[in-house]
Structure 1
């Protein structure tokens, strides 16, 4: 499996953090909590991809 570089991982993490921030700002809207869940799943995906590539 290909490894992610630190720069790529950081860029992806910043993107998911931005998604979570928008979701938190719009938490009163119907789609706000969904964006927060997408951001959390994105971070968990980064972590799990890093673990799987090391196996």
Structure 2
């Protein structure tokens, strides 16, 4: 499940995978903590332009 957390934070999962991760996070403190570490990435990435990512 932890392998999906980055994609989940970016909103890049298919709806059924998204739901599965969301359900798992509701009951797993370890994955919840790991998710909190990457949850802010979309807003940080939004500050970058394409040249910053190369």
TM-score category, normalised to shorter length: 0.3 to 0.5
TM-score norm. by structure 2 comes to: 0.35
- Bigger RCO (CA 8 Å, 6+ sep): 2
TM-score norm. by structure 1 comes to: 0.35
Q: Which of structures 1 and 2 has the bigger CA Rg?
A: 1
